[in-house]
A and B are shown apart, each in its own frame.
Chain A
Amino acid sequence: MTTKYETVIGLEVHVQLNTNSKIFCGCSTEFGKEPNENTCPVCLGLPGTLPVLNKKVVDYAIMAGLALNCDIAEYSKFDRKNYFYPDLPKAYQISQFDLPVAENGEIEIETEAGIFNIGVTRVHLEEDAGKLIHEGSIDKSKGSLVDYNRTGVPLIEIVSEPDMRTPAQAKAYLTELKMIMEYLDISDCNMEEGSLRCDANVSLRPVGQEEFGIKAELKNMNSFSAVEKGLEYEVKRQQELLDEGKKVVQETRTWDESLNKTISMRGKEEAHDYRYFPEPDLVPLEIDEAWKEEMQKEIPELPREKYKRFISELGLPEYDAGVLTGDKDLAVFFEEVLSDYDDPKNLSNWMMGEFLRLLNENGHSPFESGVSPINLAKMLKLIDQDIISGKIAKEVFEKMYNSGRDPETIVEEEGLKQISDQDELENIVDAIIEDNPDAVEDVENGKERAIGFLVGQVMKETRGKANPGLVNQMLRDKLMN
C-alpha cells in the first residue's frame, strides 16, 4: 500500500442478546426451532398488540455500555424506524434514534502495530427482524417464505467512531468487542449463526487531510476473516479509483464471499428515509444510579484487564496471556487451576499445549472435557513431586480428558508411578551399560550426547516410568568418574 492515503474505518456491530425471552413479548429466543414456533400476536405485529419492554434486555445493554466505558443515559427512549419489508411484521422496527442507552465510550485494542483506543459513539437497543427463506436458491425459488422466530430477539447496536486506520485494527476491534460480550455473558457472539453482525463504513483521504473522504458502507461480512478480506478489498478498490483520478461514490456495497469482492447494492439516492419518531406505545426509559450500580456489580474482570494482569502479576509471556484470555472459559479454567496450583507458566504451557490440542481435536470448550481444574492441578503437582514424569503425564492427561478420572487414581491403578528408587533402578542401569558397549565407549571418550541415548534405553526398559534425571545422574556416576 502506498502512503498517499489514510484509511478511515468505522464499524456498526449488531449483537444479539442471549436473554431467554424476546425484547417486547414473552416468546422464547431459542435458536433452531421450527419456523414460526417462537411467535405470538405481539411479535407477529398483529393489529392491536402492544410491546412490553423486557427489563433483562435493558440490564444487558447497561452492562455493555459500562464495559465499553460509555456514559449511561439517565433518560432514554425508543423510536420507530419505518420501512417495508416482508420480514418486518409491523413495517417498523422499534429502535433508538436520538437518545440511546449508552454513549461516548472507548475501548483499547492491540495489533502488531501497537495499542490503540477506539471510540464507541453509542450503544442502542432494538428488536431483530425475521428471516426470508427460499426453496433451493433465491433465483430459482417460486416465492419467499418468512420465519418470524427471530423477530423481536433483542439486539444492541454498537457504533464505533471512525477511529480505525487499517483492516487489521477493525478486526482487532471486532475481536475485542466479541470477547467483552462473551465475558459479560450477554451474547453468544456467533457470526455464522448471526448473533454477531458487522457493517463497516470505509473511506480514504489524502494523508494529512482532516476532512473525511467519501465513504462506502459495507455489508454482509459473515465471519471475522470476511470482515478483514472485505475491508482489504474495499481499501484497494477505493485506492485504485483515486489513483486513476476517479471519485468514490457514496453507496452501500455487499461483500460477495464466492467472488471475493464487494458489489454495489444501492446508491445514495435509493437510501431509505426511515421517518424515525418516538414510539408512542412505550414509556421513556429512566435509568437511575442504583440500577447502574447494580449492573456495575455484574461486570467481571474484562479481557483486556485480565490480559494485562496475567502479564504483570503472573509473569506470563504476552503470547500466553493473549491465548488464555482470548477465550473466557479458558481464562476462567486457568484461574481455577491456579487457586490450587502456583506455577502459572508451567500451567500455561500445559493448557496451551496438550489441553488446547485435545479441545480443538474434539471440538470441546474448556469445561466440556473430562479434565476438571482441580484434577489438572493435582496432575501438575504429581509431576512437580517427581511422582510421574512429564512424558507419563501426557498419557495420564489424555486418560483424564477422556474418562474424567482423577490423576492419582489413574497413576495408582495403572502403575504409572515414576521409579525414583536408586536400588530399584540399579540393576536396569547396569544391564543397559552391559548391553550397549559402543555407547558406553562414546561416553567414556567424552561424547556427552551418548548419555542421552543410554537414558532413553533405560526409559524404554521401564516403559517411561524411570525418573530420567535420576537415571542420568546414575549413568554419569558410573561412567564418568
Chain B
Amino acid sequence: MNIYDLTIHELKEKIAAGELTPAEIKKAYAARINEVEDRVKSYITITDELAEEELADYENKKEGLLAGIPIAVKDNMSTDGIKTSCGSKMLENYKPPYDATVVEKLNEAGAVIMGKTNMDEFAMGSSTENSAFFDTHNPWNLNHAPGGSSGGSAAAVAAGECAAALGSDTGGSIRQPASYCGVVGLKPTYGMVSRYGLVAFASSLDQIGPITKDVEDSAILMNVIAGHDPKDSTSIEGKKEDYTEYLKEDVSGMKIGIPEEYFNLEFDEEVKASVLAAVEKLKEAGAEVETVHMIDASYALAAYYVIAPAEASSNLARYDGVRYGLRSEQAADISEMFTNTRLEGFGDEVKRRIMIGTYALSSGYYDAYYLKAQKVRTLIKDDFDRIFNDFDLIITPTAPSTAIELESKSDPLEMYHTDIFTVPINIAGVPAMSVPCGFDSSEMPIGLQLIGPHFGEGKIIQAAYTLEKLLNIKEKRAEL
C-alpha cells in the first residue's frame, strides 16, 4: 500500500514502529497532491509552509494524538494568517487574525495541516459546484461531483491528498460528500465540537466533524476536536469521552430502527438494495432490526429551507465591504457600496438563500414561515427522541443516489432534494455518520447513514466499526 493510502492509525503505528518518519509521510502526501490535484482540485489553498513549520515542531508535540499526521481543513474554518475564503469571492483575500478552536486543537495534537479545501460558497450547496473558484472532481469518477458542501475535504481524503480532513455539516455537508466519495463522515451532536472560528452559515445547525478513511480514524479525530469551549456558548459542558473505546466488533442486542417513511421515498434502487443488504449483515451479527414510523423527511427539508436561510441572511449581512473582504469600486454613497459589494461578491445560490431568509424573517411573514418552521423543528426533535426511547440507532441511506454528474442539476430544488436523508438530523441536533456500504453498477460508492441519540456518537462508532469489518470494503481506493 502507498503511504498516502494509509489511515491515521496505520500512520501512527508506522511512526511508533520507526518504519516511517513524519517528514517522509508529509513528503508522500505532498507528492500525491502534486500528482493528482490538477485533476481532483480539492484545495483552495495548499499550506505547505505551515505544514513545514508544524513538522519542524514535531519533537515538541510527538505525544499528540495527531503528531505528524497530514490533515486538511475546510476553507470555512479560520486559520491565523492563512486565507479563509469560504469558497466566496467576498472573502477571496481574507486572512483571519485568529485560529478557530478546532484548528488550535489540531495544532496542539501535532497535526500537519496540508491545506484548506474547496467548498460550496459559504457551505451552501450539495456538489461543491457553488464554489466561486472552481469545481472539485470526484476521485472515483472525475466527471462526477464530490458532493458538498465539504466536497473538497471528502475528495482530498478519498484521493489520498491528506490522511483525514475536517468538514462542516449544516444539512448534510459532511455526510453527503463522504457518501459520494466512499469515505467516513461524522456529524457530531450539536454543541459537541466548538463552532468558534467556523464561519457561520446557519448557527443553530452548523457543526464541525471528521471526514476519514475509516471509522477508527473518525474516533481518533473526535478525541481531538470534541469538548466544551468557553468561547462557544452553545458548546456542551460535560465529561469528555474516549471514542476509541467504542471500536468494538459487537452489535449484539443493539436495537436498530428502519424508518419506513424514509425508505418509501423515491430514490435509487441500487442505493436502497445496498443499504438494506448492510442492515441484513448487522442483523446476522446480532442486531435487533425493526421497522419504525417517523415524520416524513420532506417536512424537515421544508423547515430547513426556512430556518437555515433565515439565519444565513443575518450571518452573512456582515459582508458589507466596510471592514474586510471585497468592496465594490462602483458606488456613489454608502448604501450603493453595500448593495454593489454584495451584488458582486456573492454567487447566485448565496443570494437566493439570503433573499429567502430575509423574506421569511420580514414583518408580516415571520409567523407564517420562521415561527412555523421552528414549530416543525420541535416536532421533528420530539419524533427522534421518541424513537430513541426504544432504539439505539436509526439507519437510512445517506443520499438518494451515488455521486451526481457535474453540471447535471441546474434546478436548485432538485439539488436541495439530495439532502433529504441528512437534513432531519441537523434539525433534530442529533449525531449521524455516513459509512461506505457498497458500490453501484458504475463502481460509485454508496453510503449508509447511522443516526444516534444526543451524545450517541459512541454507539454510532461501535455499529459503524462492526459494519466496516463485516463488509470488508474499506481497503478499496479510488484509482487516479
Which residues of A come within 8 Å of B, CB atoms? 41, 44-53, 80, 82, 84, 86, 89-92, 144, 146, 273, 275-277, 280-283
Contact = CB atoms under 8 A, between A and B. Distances in A.
Interface string B60-95: 000000000000000011100000101000010010
B204 A280 contact: yes
Given A91-B320, A273-B363, A275-B362, A50 B314 contact: no
B267 interface: no
Contacts of A277: 310-311, 314, 361, 366, 370
A52 B233 contact: yes
Contacts of B323: 44-45, 89, 146
29 contacts: A41-B96, A46-B78, A46-B97, A46-B98, A46-B324, A47-B84, A47-B94, A48-B76, A48-B77, A48-B100, A48-B195, A48-B197, A50-B195, A50-B233, A52-B232, A82-B361, A84-B320, A146-B322, A146-B323, A273-B362, A275-B366, A277-B310, A277-B314, A277-B370, A280-B311, A281-B203, A282-B234, A283-B233, A283-B234
A147 B215 CA distance: 49
Contacts of B324: 46
A46 B315 CA distance: 11
Secondary structure at the B interface, as helix, strand, loop or mixed, is: loop
A468 B334 CA distance: 76
Most buried by A among B97, B195, B314, B361: B314
Contacts of B96: 41, 46-48
B399 interface: no
Interface in B288-320: 310-311, 313-314, 317-318, 320
B314 A92 contact: yes
Interface in B322-379: 322-324, 334-335, 338, 358, 361-363, 366, 370
Nearest to B235: A50
B196 interface: yes
Contacts of A48: 76-78, 84, 96, 100, 195-200
Contact of A281 (B234, B313, B361): B234
B248 interface: no
The 5 closest A-B pairs by CB, nearest first: A91-B317, A280-B203, A275-B361, A280-B204, A47-B199
B196 A49 contact: yes
Give the bracket for the number of chain B residues in contact with chain A.
35 or more
A151 B231 CA distance: 18
Contacts of A144: 334
A144 B322 CA distance: 10
Secondary structure at the A interface, as helix, strand, loop or mixed, is: loop
A423 B84 CA distance: 96
Nearest to A277: B361
B231 A52 contact: yes
B286 interface: no
A307 B84 CA distance: 60
A84 B322 CA distance: 11
Contact of A47 (B86, B232, B362, B366): B86
A273 B364 CA distance: 10
A431 B117 CA distance: 107
Contact of A84 (B77, B100, B317): B317
Given A46-B324, A47-B199, A84 B314 contact: no
B412 interface: no
B253 interface: no
Contacts of B94: 47
